Structure 1
Amino acid sequence: MGRGARETVLGTLGKATILQIPPELQDLALRFREAVWKRDTEDPQRKLVLLKYSDGNYTNYMEGRTRFHKSNFSLEILNTSRQERQLYEFIVSKGPEEKVWQIQLEVYEPVSDPSIQILGWALVNDSCTVTLNCTAERGDNVSYSWGSWDTSTLGLCSHNGSLLYLSYPLQNTSIACACTASNPVSSRVVTFNSSECSYEQGGNAGQRTEHLVLLVVVPIVAVMIITGVFTAAHLAMPIGECQEHSALAEDSTVHTIYSQVQRVESPDKEHTTVYASVMMPTA
């Protein structure tokens, strides 16, 4: 072990993190009775002294934020924040020499419970094809993987990544695919059950399609038919009739005709007056 020997420690955001040193440096610290904990800062020319140990006594310069364990010279960060993501050094002084142990602390926010969204599905030949998306709202450097605890369905569920394209027969209701969201400090699992895709969902999809046809396609077809009928009637109308209709359109005079209609079935031959309004051309 020489100067600058290093290891990486993974810390969890909001939790305690313990920085430990190897037994060799513990023995040196007990023998020479001089040691110090330091930490890098954002300024590469400046280091922050966290703790000094001398002749069995120590001074903690970060009281309330760190705890020193005298039995093994480890340093505990009580509430790890992202600012603690730095390079730490434990230095033992032995006369004109120093032995240094370096620890690179990496801080990660743990993964929250993931959820599965159905992005799309289709019923084809009595099989259900589903597109699933697994996501976690919180967590640093989250990776996703799919699998199954049932070896018979492991091939259907195995995939790396948040998206899973799953296809299975509808009569098979025992498929359960598990999504694992993980990062270097945590892991969470959520399961999708194949029973969530059913004939009822397919019926709903059919109804939505029928409604779309009724609301959009049918009115368009009706307008096209009506337009075609009027166009054909107009083209087939004789020129005289067209002129007559034009004359009637220009004269908006309304004439009322009174007529009497005799009811045949009535024994007293009651007369009924009928009023009708017609458009009469003017001379």
Structure 2
Amino acid sequence: MGSGAWLRLLLTLGALWGIGAREKVLGILGEATFLRIPRELRERTEECGEASWKKTIEEPLKKKFLLKISGGNYTEFEPERMRFHKEDFSLEILNTSRDDRRLYEYSVSKGPEEEVWQIQLEVFEPVSDPTIRILRRESSNGSCSLELRCSSERGDEVSYSWASRDNGTGTGGICAGSGGVLNLSYALRSAAFGCVCTASNPVSRRHAAFHSQQCGAEQWDVPKVRTELLVPLVALGVIVIIIIIIIVVIITFRATRSAKCDPDPSQVTPASATIYAQVQRVQKPKGTVPNATPLSCTTIYATATGPPAAPDGAPRSPAGSPTPRGCSPLSQEPTTVYASVTLPVA
């Protein structure tokens, strides 16, 4: 029995059961999906010239026309989302979304008869590259036990399986398993081996490998940094270092400037308390000093007070010594005088 006979049988059974022949098409999320019809229906369309593409909106009560063919001409009702290929009467969904997961029908009319081909579209997101992490690690008595987890961040209806990467290592089926978690137990003295995790769904398949060395490498516990994130992290680190350097320079500059502007209080003596004076004695005529001593400089430390008080108790200024303008007369409080006296020359 040829394919045409099988198609007619399916269409006949579908007419008896109230439905047309149905096939299942798998679409990938975000990619184009083609809905095609059998060769017999293409030939029937060329003979009859009346056909249409429809999709079910509310199964089974409501349907919407996507395309109508009449007398060699066609009309598209969703040209921004669908594209009709007249060479084989197929319909292309340009950007498949989850909302496109519906039942589609292609029907050919000839008089009172209608032949229907139904397509059930299923949409899946492909799986991303899986990663393997160590959940548990134990070593004792020369053996190692590991619990590995394989996971993929994206994907619909993802399933996981495990297998050995190298069959010649003598580990046999140690890596064989199904599911996202794999438990391993092996002797530390055995040769290194590799396990491969496969993440798959109906539209895609991805792999990840694990290499065992001395009960597992530590780097598998830490998620890998993505390459696209490495450059921004380095740039951020450089910016933070530059900001810290600028702050340190500003603080150091202000501290140095403050130290130069503020003198040490211990080195400042109040002007009202200390008098620095250099006194030079008047040189007497020669011969008046029998025993002249060599020229020397002697420092005298004395405590000076103001002039003696007047009889009425008020302070009295020395004769012939008027008080300078802007200066108050000397008080009777003790004042330290540092004087340097130069002795006369013999």
Alignment partner for residue 175 of structure 1, among 173, 193, 210?
193
Checking the alignment, whether the CA contact within 8 Å between 2:164 and 2:176 is kept in structure 1 is yes
Task: Identify if the C-alpha distance between structure 1 residues 30 and 154 changes in structure 2 by more than 3 Å, giving closer, same or farther.
Answer: farther
TM-score normalised to the size of structure 1?
Answer: 0.68
Task: Identify if the C-alpha distance between structure 1 residues 198 and 33 changes in structure 2 by more than 3 Å, giving closer, same or farther.
Answer: closer
Task: Structure 2: give runs of 5+ residues left out of the alignment.
Answer: 1-7, 15-19, 220-346
Question: Structure 1 residue 182: deviation in Å?
Answer: 0.4
Question: Structure 1 residue 6: deviation in Å?
Answer: 0.5
- Larger CA deviation: 64-73 vs 143-152: 143-152
What residue number does 2:62 align with?
Answer: 46
User: CA deviation digits over 1:106-149, x for unaligned, max 9?
Assistant: 01111111111111010022222100011111111110000023
- Residue 99 of structure 1 pairs with residue 115 of structure 2: yes
Q: Equivalents in 2 of 1:111, 1:199: separation in Å?
A: 26
What residue number does 1:26 align with?
Answer: 42
| Amino acid corresponding to residue 62 of structure 2 in structure 1 | R
Greater helix percent: which structure?
Answer: 1
- What SS is found at the alignment partner of 2:30? coil
User: CA deviation digits over 1:53-93, x for unaligned, max 9?
Assistant: 11211111110211111111111101110110000000001
Q: Equivalents in 2 of 1:166, 1:92: separation in Å?
A: 59
What residue number does 2:83 align with?
Answer: 67
Bigger radius of gyration, 1 or 2?
A: 2
- What SS is found at the alignment partner of 1:104? strand
TM-score normalised to the size of structure 2?
Answer: 0.56
Checking the alignment, whether the CA contact within 8 Å between 2:29 and 2:123 is kept in structure 1 is yes
Q: Equivalents in 1 of 2:129, 2:56: separation in Å?
A: 34
| Amino acid corresponding to residue 104 of structure 1 in structure 2 | Q
Alignment partner for residue 80 of structure 1, among 82, 90, 96?
96
Greater strand percent: which structure?
Answer: 1
- Larger CA deviation: 13-22 vs 122-131: 122-131
RMSD: 1.8
Aligned residues: 201
Task: Structure 1: give runs of 5+ residues left out of the alignment.
Answer: 202-283
Correspondence list, 1:137-176, <5 A? 137-152=153-168, 153-176=171-194
Checking the alignment, whether the CA contact within 8 Å between 1:147 and 1:154 is kept in structure 2 is no
Checking the alignment, whether the CA contact within 8 Å between 1:40 and 1:47 is kept in structure 2 is yes
Alignment partner for residue 205 of structure 2, among 187, 190, 194?
187
Question: Structure 1 residue 172: deviation in Å?
Answer: 3.4
Q: Equivalents in 2 of 1:71, 1:200: separation in Å?
A: 59
- Residue 115 of structure 1 pairs with residue 131 of structure 2: yes
- What SS is found at the alignment partner of 2:185? strand
